[in-house]
Structure 1
Amino acid sequence: MTTPEPSALPAGMDAAAPERRLHPMSWLFVLIQQLRQFILPLIVLFVMGRGDRNDLWGLVAICVLAVISIWQYYTYRFRIGIDSLQIRSGLLERSLREIPFARIQNVALRQTLLHRIFGVAEVRLESAGGIKPEAEMRVLTLADALALEALVRRRRGEARTGPAAPGAETHDDGEVLLRLGAGDIIRAGLISNRGMVVVGGAFAALAQLSRDLFSQIIESWVRGLFGVVEDYGRGHETAAVLVLIVLFLVVVRLFSIALAFLQYHGFRLEEHGRRLTLERGLLSRARTSTPRRRIQSWTLREGMLHRLFGQRSLEVSTAVLENGSDGQPRSLREIAPVATPERCDALIRHLAPQVQWPPAQWQPLHRSTFWRLAVPQWLLTLAIAVPVSLNFGPWGAALVCLWLPWAGYIAWQHARHAGYSVDARMAAVRGGWWTRTWRFAEIGKLQAIRFSQSPLDRTLGTATLLLDTAGGNAIGDPLRLRFIPVDEARALDARLAGEIARSTMRW
């Protein structure tokens, strides 16, 4: 998305302006959206028609959808008021919605390749808890879309701090906090493993299309590779297998890099006053804007490949739902897909200056943590060794039992790196070994706290604290403090519950 400066609003974009229509090509994008919903029935209708009159029904359906799209364009109006946005739609069943600017938490602009060809953008105005957007405009010119985003940002600021003084200048130029270059995107692709999804999907589709063809292709590749090796002498089958593995890994990484360029090309994180704006994408451009105060929790990730390249990933969870009902991203999430540890820490300190990051000291977990992690892995390994010994004899069981010391080493590393930190401003937890994570939330953002003990916890004198924020969800990793000595857990529970109560009274 090429973003021209939204410093001046287009003609008519003010409080006294009459009602406005969408872009004249808006009906085309509405039609495409409706065709996506009915594409499978239409394909079945065309395929099953077999050249008779049934084919005409598909054309009739497309014509009906086109008429509906044009109808929606001519009946959709919007007006920008002083403190709200009015939207009028419908002809037979009319509706009038008034959306206060103070309620809009996220302004999302989206451009597919077709949008970019026509110089337009899709605008979504979203609230904190709604599943569907408050308003969805398909489509506005890119200049109008950026002007509307700047206007919402300014009117929200006036609603919080009061109207600007007459004659005061409004500066919409944002400060760029992070920009990804080609080298950064290549590193992001090498670190991620998204190419495996493409390769796996291709193999699955090929296998479903024709299992015989799939088997023939794999067999021809393997025979060709072994044939090349046999030309240099027999006994090189191991080398052929290694070459096959290396080629597979190279293909996966190339696909990962390609996907990274599609997703992160032109990545730019900007700060506009109290709002963060994120823009990215190669073919399909997305631009989303969210208030900084809506950030509820922070997550730092560092895998083995991250450490190899000296990088980390920084993610946030906001009070706005991450994805809408249509699966499109609705809020900020990856504010730093790849960055050096120092850069990630600097971003956190800049965006959350009230917290001290990294913590001065991490508290260790209960001394029984190693056994809590190691014993289940050992029992599972022994359970697998029993049927293996019945089928392959003692040597098979011995090979399985070789996992026992490695499982113990993994548990020891996890217990050594795990810890938590709670101060006057922040609650943080760290864990992992191969892939390390740091998660924290401001105490003022906590919504609820849950104290729990399993029967094993009561026996060993430990407890778990689950800290819930407004951006928490069942899919993401929760902010959970596990294996804490029970006395420390009760003290933290009472302290954090009091902080949450005082915060609720202030609201």
Structure 2
Amino acid sequence: MTGEGGIPPYQGQRTSPLGFIVQVVENLRKAILPIIALMFGSQQFGDTPVVVGLLIGLAIIVFNVAVAWLGWTRRRYFVGDEDVRVESGIFSRDARSVPYERIQDVSLEQKLIPRILGLTSICFETGAGGKDELKLSFVTQSEGERLRTLVRERREDHALGSARQEARAEAATAAAGVAEPESRLLFTMGPGRLALFGLFEFSLIIFALLAGALQQLDSFLPYSVWSLDDWRGFASSQMSWIGAWGVVGPVIVGTVVTITIGLIGLATGIARTVARDWGFTLERNARGFRRRRGLFTRTDVVMPVHRVQAARITTGCLRRLFGWHGLKFISLAQDSGSESHVVAPFAQMDEIWPIVREAGLSAPPADARWHLPKSDRWVVLGILGAIPVLAMIAFLAMEGRWLLALAAGLVVLPMLGLRQYFSFARHRYAVGVRQIFVREGLVTPELVIAQQIRLQTVEIARGPLGRWLGYCTVHFGLAGGKLSIPGVPIAEAFALRESVLNSIAAVDFSDLPQ
């Protein structure tokens, strides 16, 4: 018996030989800093520190090449009748297998170097994330596409069962010779929109990276970056020309520093956005939504429509003023450790709603009845949060620091009150015939749309305060995440649970796609 492509089942197949080159480059990248440190530390060996450092570096390189080669020769993958298995390990063998019924989807990922060499990694997603995912690196692009199609077909065969497999075979026979419909483009982002998106993704992460690098290289610098005295000396040496400008000097310096930090933050945001979302395209094909993006790391993910559990529409404080929003799908399969798949990260609402409808969801009706939570929860939590502030004010008053105590009372307490008010005002929900809508966020609003038949569980949770004041939190279990509504009155929560359960019970799940 032979498998797909003439490969005997469980005889196994090696990954692409070019993957050995990728592994060598990755190992050397990790070894660069140790090699540099050894070259600096080799000065203790006499007058030939460079030679000693080069010899040690060469030994590290040879060792990494040998490990990468042995690792490639010992890595095999198997596509059997019941599961997918990957074996690896030089001295201790590691064999991991995932049955087809546990595989939610198969995605492809191409980082920069594998992409140059025409290689890809395959991730067999189980929906659990973390160590439960099975990843195969590296195979050719054509082999990755072939494996993805093969595994999906066998997964569907296992989910359908023998009777439906026969029906599927008959349908395939009847459809022989009929061309499969082409993919439809739903959403894309060009360079102009990416640059605009990056302006809203302001980031100062570059300074955190610089701080980390300076922390590692502090011993090689002529001065200490973390020494306050060194910075005072530098400032005093520059005060001569700053002082020549009089009072305007510090203002000019502060303005230049602020503008520089702002420009760096904007440039960082644009660079991160372009690297992550370059070539972003969302298509609708026969299998579902296909999303491709990435400049250095190219990802190719397909989300079957029937596995979309809910839609999440988000925005930001500034971008909402210009009508820009983002759309994510909560799916059974996980997206790089996240519970949601980004399908339109930067779009107008007239671009988002057609995508939502393709997933079988719809916008809240104009006459939807929105339910507000019970305000008691936020009032009591606000009072409890104010107790430490009142204690601090009392302590300052006893110490005779009346000005600080007055400032804390006039600034901190009102801020706490406003925070609780806005937190209360942003939560509301509505129940439709087939869907549940949950809104939150007053300044940065967010809307979650979930089909009632996709909800796995309905949990009513009450803490001590909830039992005392008559409210609870309703948790809806989704296969790819969780949806919660806090501060719901008890009677309303039980009525909501009954309504959702009745809606689910009225559906014949045997007719739904698996």
Corresponding position of 1:485: 489
Deviation sequence 1:75-112 (CA, Å, 0-9, x none): 65667789976878799999998877665422222222
Q: Contact between 1:124 and 1:133, CA under 8 Å: does it hold in 2?
A: no
What letter corresponds to residue 106 of structure 1 in structure 2?
A: D
Confirm or deny that 1:212 pairs with 2:216: no
Determine the C-alpha separation between the residues in 2 that align with 1:123 and 1:80.
13
Instruction: Kindly state the Cα deviation for residue 258 of structure 1 after the two structures are TM-superposed.
Output: 0.9
Confirm or deny that 1:275 pairs with 2:288: yes
TM-score normalised per structure 2: 0.77
Determine the C-alpha separation between the residues in 1 that align with 2:338 and 2:180.
25
Deviates more, 1:363-372 or 1:99-108: 99-108
Q: Contact between 1:21 and 1:74, CA under 8 Å: does it hold in 2?
A: yes
Runs of at least 5 residues in structure 1 that lack an aligned partner in the other structure: 1-11, 324-328, 473-477
Deviates more, 1:92-101 or 1:254-263: 92-101
What letter corresponds to residue 390 of structure 2 in structure 1?
A: L
> 170, 191, 198: which is aligned to 2:200?
191
> 11, 22, 29: which is aligned to 1:29?
22
Aligned CA distance change for structure 1 residues 238 and 84 (closer, same or farther; 3 Å): same
Runs of at least 5 residues in structure 2 that lack an aligned partner in the other structure: none
Confirm or deny that 1:349 pairs with 2:357: yes
Deviates more, 1:441-450 or 1:168-177: 168-177
> 419, 424, 439: which is aligned to 1:415?
424
Corresponding position of 1:364: 372
Deviation sequence 1:225-265 (CA, Å, 0-9, x none): 97776555425645643443333222212111111111111
Which residues of 2 match residues 328-347 of structure 1 at below 5 A?
333-347=341-355
What letter corresponds to residue 288 of structure 2 in structure 1?
A: R
Which residues of 2 match residues 211-360 of structure 1 at below 5 A?
212-213=224-225, 230-234=243-247, 237-238=250-251, 240-323=253-336, 333-353=341-361, 355-357=362-364, 360=368
Q: Contact between 1:318 and 1:331, CA under 8 Å: does it hold in 2?
A: yes
Aligned CA distance change for structure 1 residues 410 and 53 (closer, same or farther; 3 Å): closer
Instruction: Kindly state the Cα deviation for residue 494 of structure 1 after the two structures are TM-superposed.
Output: 3.4
Structure 2 residue matching 1:334: 3-state secondary structure: strand
Deviation sequence 1:299-319 (CA, Å, 0-9, x none): 222221221332112223322
Aligned CA distance change for structure 1 residues 129 and 235 (closer, same or farther; 3 Å): closer
Determine the C-alpha separation between the residues in 1 that align with 2:181 and 2:85.
24
Instruction: Kindly state the Cα deviation for residue 488 of structure 1 after the two structures are TM-superposed.
Output: 0.4
Confirm or deny that 1:396 pairs with 2:414: no
TM-score normalised per structure 1: 0.78
Q: Percent of pairs identical after alignment?
A: 24
Q: Contact between 2:314 and 2:444, CA under 8 Å: does it hold in 1?
A: yes
Corresponding position of 1:458: 467
Determine the C-alpha separation between the residues in 2 that align with 1:500 and 1:250.
52
Q: Contact between 1:106 and 1:330, CA under 8 Å: does it hold in 2?
A: no
What letter corresponds to residue 185 of structure 2 in structure 1?
A: V
Deviates more, 1:388-397 or 1:454-463: 388-397
Instruction: Kindly state the Cα deviation for residue 113 of structure 1 after the two structures are TM-superposed.
Output: 2.0
Q: Contact between 1:15 and 1:80, CA under 8 Å: does it hold in 2?
A: no
Aligned CA distance change for structure 1 residues 122 and 244 (closer, same or farther; 3 Å): same
What letter corresponds to residue 450 of structure 2 in structure 1?
A: A
Instruction: Kindly state the Cα deviation for residue 401 of structure 1 after the two structures are TM-superposed.
Output: 2.4
Aligned Cα root-mean-square deviation (Å) = 4.2
